[in-house]
Structure 1
Amino acid sequence: MKHHTPDHTPSAPVEPLATGSRRAIDYLLLRWRSERPADGTLPPYENVALGNLGHFADSMALVVQPAPGNFNLARVGSLFGKWGEFSRDGGSFSSLRPDRAHSMRDAIHYSLQSKEPARVTTHQVAQGQFETYDLWALPLSSLWGPEVFVLVLDRRETRHDVLDTMFGASDEGMIALTAIMDANREVVDFQFVAFNEGASRLLNLPAERLQWSRLSELGLELEESEVIENLARATKRGERISFEVSYPGSDELRHFKVSVSPAGELLTVTLTDIADIKNRERSFRILFEGNPLPMWLVDSESLRILQVNEAAIRHYGYSAEQFLSMNTLEIVPRTRRDEFETFLNTLDTPYQGRDVWTHVRSDGALMEVYPYIRRMDLAGSQTFVISVVDVTERRKAEARIEHMAHHDALTGLPNRVLFRTRLNEALQRAKMSQGMVVVFCLDLDHFKGVNDTLGHPIGDKLLQAVARRFSSTLRRSDFVARLGGDEFAIIVNEVEQIAEASRLASRLIDVISLPFEIDGHQVVVGTSIGIAVAPHDGQEPDLLLKNADMALYRSKNDGRSTFRYFETEMDTRLQARRAMELDLRRALNAKEFTLYYQPLVSLSTGRVCAFEALLRWNHPERGLVSPQEFIPLAEEIGLIMDIGAWVLEQACREATRWPNDVRIAINLSPVQFRGNRIVQAVSHALEMSGIDPGRVELEITESVLLHDSEANVRSLRALKDLGIHIAMDDFGTGYSSLSYLQKFPFDKIKIDQYFVRTLSDRPEASAIVRAVTGLGRSLQIATTAEGVETAEQLVHLQKEGCTQVQGYLFSRPLPADQLAGLLSRSFSLTEESPAEKNIRKIAG
């Protein structure tokens, strides 16, 4: 139906990206690609979504993730919000219309898969129009966490109006009127807003005359027919009405049926030339038969199918003869026929369904459709015109997306979101029945070793195999989910005695400990389990899961491949850890950290050649805290970056007070290499202290090279280019120490003190020390033995050719103000008994 509205109309609707839409999309895509980093990561949100986007913003929305997999609308353009029927303040996807949420999830999901902008097609029925939109999702990185997404809505020009499809070629006149009111809010007239060609023809007035004219100004002599009064009554009551009107035409009196549908102060008016009904029926039949959507004409009393179009015959598989012998109830499942019949019998307004209905094809296959139903008077008989849009494939896609949102993609098990939902349901049931719910938290023992040695593909297949064993071992009433990584959780329902949970935990441990055969590899892992029981250990899902997780931590500390129940003191220990975290966060600003220094003695000169800086925490209440207690926590919470920078600067400044031939050795945490900031921190320490870089020795463990080794090797080379010496600490205790000597030219190898302590007891320890010192000589790398405590160990190390030694035999770590005596001392390193006595005397 062609609508006539003047171009200057101030209230004309502004459609999403109605002009220049392709340029808007192309502009945003070009901006996205131009800002994308060379390493293929996502472009930053600030560079793409901020700036002068102008009117584009009305058709855009910003989506954030408060948690992975959960999406919230943070900012919504006015037109985007109108399409989605949600406010500009946004909100969680869970609060939106399901079809809108599904479309947005689809676009976001596809953009995450491809790491590129993604487009999906979405539809809506708005005011009788079946509209098609392209919904774009542009994935962006953000400074505050997970990816964010800019969604852009682009409506296609082609729109299908179901009513237009039926009546577009009709002789009926379609008019939209708006009410004109006086100061007392009484309707006194009506103004034309839009109309079709049929209205212009039936009223025998040109379109220019009708546009924005008032009904009383057209000279139609309608006063006696009380047209304005009837229209005003429909407006005031909000009721649909029909009435007949006659007025003089050019040749004869003209008769119309007027049907009025009010929507507030807007009226939709249909003019039907009663004398022309036959012509309208013929026009309708032509459009009915050629419509691409399945359509039926149905008798409103018997519900027998009177006519069917070709689209319905093709889509449903019935012949025309079969359809015409059927009742329309036969195209719905038997269990829904009574409901459908009741619905038709009570239908008095056009129905443009937002709900999905199920229909049955001739072969019995089910499909899901959006129905459109209108009651009509054709040739004096009441009929239904029924049309449908098949959304079966779309609904299947939505179901897949829904499954993906609640299940782990790797194992197919439920994910954390669904687990929490099921746990909440189980707790509610238990509360009503006064029963118990048991929660297991599990992770795999030695899983990291599988990934490191056999690779992540084998690790992924192992997780899948573990998931299958869990599922086959549990009862049907139990529920298992993968929380992430190698972490799993189980809800044990219908438990009457705690012993049942213990037996199940033991059975799971036994099952998982059996070897797995994966791609020709025999893989052996175990599982540790933490158990919490509701209501004793909590009645809220998050609390119960947290307590089970604490019990899991205890089971791993107690030797792994075992299970432990939650105990109250576990929470006490957790609170103590949190207290330490709070103290640790303020310790640096409070100047509670200090450095101790332990000498490294050259076996060729007998003099101190370096000091290793060792961090201590002088806690105001606990005194000196060992780094073994607080360094792992500092690494976990990210404070090691600031603490490490302080250690570098403080140790370099202290070393400038020593002789120029004495170096400072500083340990680096693997965490300090994250983000490639270590080179900047070391350069700053050199600049602030003014120390010669050749006097600085940085000690790393092989874990620095185990993760992101290429990036870390680049950082190590940059440090070496500054003139700094690099030492590998704890050599021989890892998986691949020898291979790392090929990756990077280390200046020193430090032999782990475990081998030094067992020199006299374990012949293999002596062989390892001999091999390492020989390797050092071959590669022209210095070797330092740690943990030297006896003269016997010293003599042994001298024989094996070690170049430097360090340990309590020479000195414990000392504060900076006590190092002068060590710097002036010359150690006698001969094998004779007097020398041994001298060494013992110095060490004492």
Structure 2
Amino acid sequence: MTRRKGEDSRAAKAVSRARRDLLAGAILLAALAVLVTGGWRYVASVERMLGTTSHAADLASGDRILMAGMLLNLALILFGWRRYRDLVATSSQRDEAEARATTLARTDELTGFLNRRSLAEEGAAVIANGLRRDKAVALLVVDLDHFKTVNEVHGHLAGDTILRAATDIIRKALPASAVAGRLDGDEFAVLLPFDPRHMSTVDSIADYIVGALAQPLITKGVTAHIGASIGIARTEADCQSVEALLRRANIAMHAAKAAGRGRHAWFDATMERELVSRNAIEAGLREGIPLGQFVPYYEPQVDLESGAIIGFEVLARWEHPTRGVIPPDSFIPVAEECGLIADMSVSVMRRAFTEARDWDQSITLSVNISPAQLKDPWLAQKIVKLLVETGYPANRLEIEITESSLFQNLSLAQSIVGSLKNQGIRLALDDFGTGYSSLAHLRALPFDRIKIDKSFVTAMNKDPESMAIVNAISKLGESLNLPITAEGIEDQGIYDSLRSMGLHKGQGWHFGKPMTVTAARRLLAEKGLLPSARAIEAEAPAQRRA
């Protein structure tokens, strides 16, 4: 109703302006007509006034009337001309304002690119024109990789400046036939007609944009390192609309990011199947975590000298109701990406602590913390809360942290580690040798153990370099008085080599694959490491004496 009233008001104003314009035009035309048709009479009257009579009183009354009419006519002409000039100026200003409004309605104010709606309209025309001319149309989705950091560090005004600089780079790369738009935030789309026989033309443009945006952007005192990932889709028999191209290009863009960012990727059907699978996994995570489908499996850790079981590493497995047991490499990356890794980890730890609390007090549990979890400042409190609720002793828990997660936020990791250590929880540096600055991390954090990455251990008897790395880490641990755990012990040869180096703890398939809690309890019972097993053994001699 309010919109209708506004439209009626604008319509009434337009009618009023038109009437005034019509009146001014009629007055001007009438005055000019009178001047043209009666001008000779006015001239004659003026001549008589100036030449034959010296007193105004002697003038004929007709001459005075004609003179007055001429003056009035001139006044009307001047009024009409001035009104006409004002109307022209007003009309010009109105046209300019309407043009600006149209431009603002079609373009993004910050970058000057088309907005999403206008891109869809013009993109449809580009596709239709390309089909008529036997040309293909590529749609490039350009996503700035680290633009969020610019806003967080330098503020949104600086972010806008960097965004305009990035826009200029994209614009410079495009031919005149291209149509570019801003989709959202730091994401752009480009529609580009090209000869389907020369796809390298599109590759060259994408490579230029990626290369130029990989360089530091310096503007107004702000230096930003952003980079870009580009997904590309092209028109096909089953993909001839802007919406369909956008969907495929977005899939390809995410594939480019997953492959390491700072590159471009063309869409192919396998990407779509992977996306469907990934979305199914995310849906399964959201449904399965509350239902307890994610459970702990236990990988034995042994004393390499005696062969005795001294602990287990807790590994997550998905016991799917229809697909069976799903390994972690299928769902852990998705859980980290969609923010469900913390909930899943808490669920698995709670179950593991509950299942293992009555095992022999010499048996420890090792739990790996993902880089995403180490960004949570309340992580230590959450783990301690689990220990209290389940009754599992803190001194039987070892938290494993990878070097890559420390590199992301060392100061926060120091705070979390300090809180864990204060509760008696031990700390291990996992995947040692694969990170960025291992020695610096050993000095910065109070680790209780080093775990050698299994990629070195499994190859040590075949690759001299891997053997040298394992040996060097073993000596480093000895000099720092840090125990070493070797992962990936898969055969007797590796086992013997590690024992000869003096390593005391190891794990791998040579000692057993990750197992269910039932299998773990059976193994512990065989070794007399369950309270019930020890009670039976203690009762047996008494029964024999009786």
Give the TM-score range, shorter chain. 0.5 to 0.7
CA deviation map 1:448-472 (0-9, x unaligned)? 7xx99xx999x99998887555433
Q: Contact between 2:214 and 2:228, CA under 8 Å: does it hold in 1?
A: no
Partner of 1:713, secondary structure, is: helix
CA deviation map 1:691-729 (0-9, x unaligned)? 210101111223433334433432222122111112221
CA deviation map 1:743-796 (0-9, x unaligned)? 321222211111112213333323322332233233332221111112222233
| Residue 673 of structure 1: how far off its partner (Å) | 3.8
The match for 1:728 is: 429
Q: Which of residues 508, 511, 528 is equivalent to 2:206?
A: 508
Note the 1:635-714 alignment, pairs <5 A. Answer: 635-714=336-415
Q: Contact between 1:509 and 1:527, CA under 8 Å: does it hold in 2?
A: no
Note the 1:3-14 alignment, pairs <5 A. Answer: none
Distance 2:406 2:277 in 1: 33
Asked whether 1:536 is paired with 2:238, we answer yes
| Residue 740 of structure 1: how far off its partner (Å) | 2.5
The match for 1:5 is: none
Distance 1:821 1:462 in 2: 62
Distance 1:526 1:339 in 2: 46
Q: Which of residues 521, 545, 548 is equivalent to 2:249?
A: 548
Which amino acid is 2:329 matched to?
A: Q
Asked whether 1:499 is paired with 2:200, we answer no
The match for 1:489 is: 189
Distance 2:185 2:454 in 1: 34
Note the 1:92-107 alignment, pairs <5 A. Answer: none
Q: Contact between 1:532 and 1:566, CA under 8 Å: does it hold in 2?
A: no
Q: Which of residues 116, 123, 132 is equivalent to 1:426?
A: 123
Distance 1:481 1:727 in 2: 49
The match for 1:775 is: 476
Note the 1:808-823 alignment, pairs <5 A. Answer: 808-820=509-521, 822-823=523-524
The match for 2:449 is: 748
Q: Contact between 2:122 and 2:179, CA under 8 Å: does it hold in 1?
A: no
Question: 5+ unaligned residues in a row in structure 1: which ranges?
Answer: 1-84, 88-94, 98-298, 306-325, 341-355, 359-365, 369-394, 827-844
Distance 1:743 1:645 in 2: 27
Distance 1:357 1:464, change over 3 A: closer
Q: Which of residues 177, 181, 188 is equivalent to 1:477?
A: 177
Distance 1:519 1:338 in 2: 44
Note the 1:282-681 alignment, pairs <5 A. Answer: 301-302=76-77, 327=82, 336-337=88-89, 339=91, 406=108, 412=111, 414=113, 418-428=115-125, 430-431=127-128, 437-442=137-142, 469-480=169-180, 488-493=188-193, 495=194, 497-509=195-207, 512=210, 518=216, 529-533=231-235, 536-537=238-239, 539-541=241-243, 543-554=244-255, 561=263, 563-567=265-269, 570-681=271-382
Distance 1:643 1:508, change over 3 A: closer
Distance 1:329 1:643, change over 3 A: same
Q: Contact between 1:423 and 1:491, CA under 8 Å: does it hold in 2?
A: no
Partner of 1:406, secondary structure, is: coil
Write 1 or 2 for the structure with the bigger share of helix: 2
| Residue 482 of structure 1: how far off its partner (Å) | 6.2
| Residue 605 of structure 1: how far off its partner (Å) | 4.2
| Residue 648 of structure 1: how far off its partner (Å) | 1.4
Partner of 1:670, secondary structure, is: coil
Distance 1:515 1:428 in 2: 29
The match for 1:161 is: none
| Residue 585 of structure 1: how far off its partner (Å) | 1.9
Q: Contact between 1:462 and 1:518, CA under 8 Å: does it hold in 2?
A: no
Distance 2:383 2:165 in 1: 46
Q: Contact between 1:530 and 1:555, CA under 8 Å: does it hold in 2?
A: no
Distance 2:246 2:293 in 1: 36
The match for 1:765 is: 466
- Between 1 and 2, higher relative CO (CA 8 Å, sep ≥ 6) is seen in 2
Q: How large is the Cα RMSD of the aligned pairs?
A: 4.6
Distance 1:463 1:741 in 2: 40
CA deviation map 1:403-438 (0-9, x unaligned)? 9x9266xxx574xx8245323332156458865643
Distance 1:484 1:663, change over 3 A: farther
Q: Contact between 1:655 and 1:691, CA under 8 Å: does it hold in 2?
A: yes
Distance 1:534 1:86 in 2: 46
The match for 2:534 is: none
Distance 2:154 2:460 in 1: 38
The match for 1:377 is: none
Question: Identity across aligned pairs (percent)?
Answer: 30
| Residue 739 of structure 1: how far off its partner (Å) | 2.7
Distance 1:660 1:631 in 2: 30
Q: Contact between 1:698 and 1:726, CA under 8 Å: does it hold in 2?
A: yes
Distance 1:456 1:338 in 2: 44
Distance 1:300 1:735 in 2: 89
Which amino acid is 2:108 matched to?
A: H
CA deviation map 1:234-262 (0-9, x unaligned)? xxxxxxxxxxxxxxxxxxxxxxxxxxxxx
Distance 1:648 1:479, change over 3 A: same
Question: 5+ unaligned residues in a row in structure 2: which ranges?
Answer: 7-73, 529-546
| Residue 562 of structure 1: how far off its partner (Å) | 5.6
Distance 1:413 1:699 in 2: 50
Q: Contact between 1:537 and 1:566, CA under 8 Å: does it hold in 2?
A: no
Residues 806-815 or 755-764, more deviating: 755-764
